[in-house]
Amino acid sequence: DTEVTQTPKHLVMGMTNKKSLKCEQHMGHRAMYWYKQKAKKPPELMFVYSYEKLSINESVPSRFSPECPNSSLLNLHLHALQPEDSALYLCASSQTPASSYEQYFGPGTRLTVT
Amino acid sequence: AQSVTQPDIHITVSEGASLELRCNYSYGATPYLFWYVQSPGQGLQLLLKYFSGDTLVQGIKGFEAEFKRSQSSFNLRKPSVHWSDAAEYFCAVGARTGGSYIPTFGRGTSLIVHP
C-alpha cells in the first residue's frame, strides 16, 4: 500500500466553526507533513512530524493545530479560520525524516472558508 | 537559502511532440533536485530525483532530467508527450535542514497538451 489518504475531499466552513482534516498512511512512514497550496502556487510547508513529534512549525497561525495521535495518522484541527485560509491542504509522508526528499502525497482536502 | 526558478508559467505542446521544462536552482552546495507532477485535483507525485552520480536521471512515465552544474539547471524532458501528461510540474531543491531535506518548490509550469 503506497497510498496517503485524506478526508474529507472537500470542506466548507464558516469562520466560527471548528473542523478537522484527517490524513492516514499505512506504509510505516515515520515522518508526516502538512502543506497549504493556493491556486496556481507551489505547496507551502506548514508542519512536520518526525516520529510522532512536531519537529517543524513554519510560523503557522495558532488557528491551525496539528496532531499526530499515532504513526499512521495525522490531523489538522481548524478553528476561527479566515477566508484567506481557503486552499488545498496536502498531507504527505516519508519513510523517515532523513528521507523527506521523497515524499508521498495525498490528494488533498479542498477547504473553503466562508 | 536555496531557491528554484521555473521560468515558464505555461507550456503548450502537441501530443507526440517532445517536451522540455526548464528549472534553475540556487544553492551553495551540491543540491538534491526533484521533479514532481500534480494532476488536476490530485496531490504531488515524485517523477525523479538527483542526488549525485550520473547527471542524466531517468524517472517514471518516460521522463528524464539532466543536471548541469555549470548552468545551475535541472531540465525535465520527454521525447513524446501523451495527452495524459497535461498537469502542473514542480521542480524542487532539497537542502539539508536539521537532518531533513525538505524540498523547496518552484512556482510550477502548467503543461497543456493539444491533440
pLDDT digits (tens, 9 = 90+) for B24-34: 998 877 788 99
C-alpha cell at A105: 502525497
Mean pLDDT within B14-26: 96
Burial class (CB in 10 A: 0-12, 13-18, 19+), A20: middle
Is the pLDDT confidence value at A102 over 90? no
Catalogue the long-range contacts made by A44-53 (C-beta closer than 8 Å, 24 or more residues apart): A45/B102, A46/A76, A47/A76, A48/A97, A48/A100, A48/B100, A48/B102, A49/A74, A50/A97, A50/B100, A51/A97
A43/B99 CB distance under 8 A: no
CB contact, 8 Å: B49 with chain A?
yes
Position A52 confidence tier, pLDDT thresholds 50, 70, 90: very high
List all residues 6 or more positions away from B19 whose beta carbon is below 8 Å from its beta carbon. Answer: B11, B13, B76, B77, B78, B81, B85, B111
Residue B86: the pLDDT is: 96
- Which of these ranges, A39-43, B73-77, B108-112, has the smallest mean pLDDT? A39-43
Name the more confident of B113 and B98.
B113
Mean pLDDT within A56-82: 95
CB contact, 8 Å: A109 with chain B?
no
Q: How close B5 comes to chain A (CA, Å)?
A: 12
| Residues of B in Cβ contact (< 8 Å) with A45 | 102
Q: Distance between CA A43 and CA B43 in Å, rounded?
A: 10
Q: Would you call B83 helix, strand, or coil by DSSP?
A: helix
Residue B97: the pLDDT is: 67
A42/B101 CB distance under 8 A: no
Mean pLDDT within B50-58: 91
Residue A107: the pLDDT is: 93
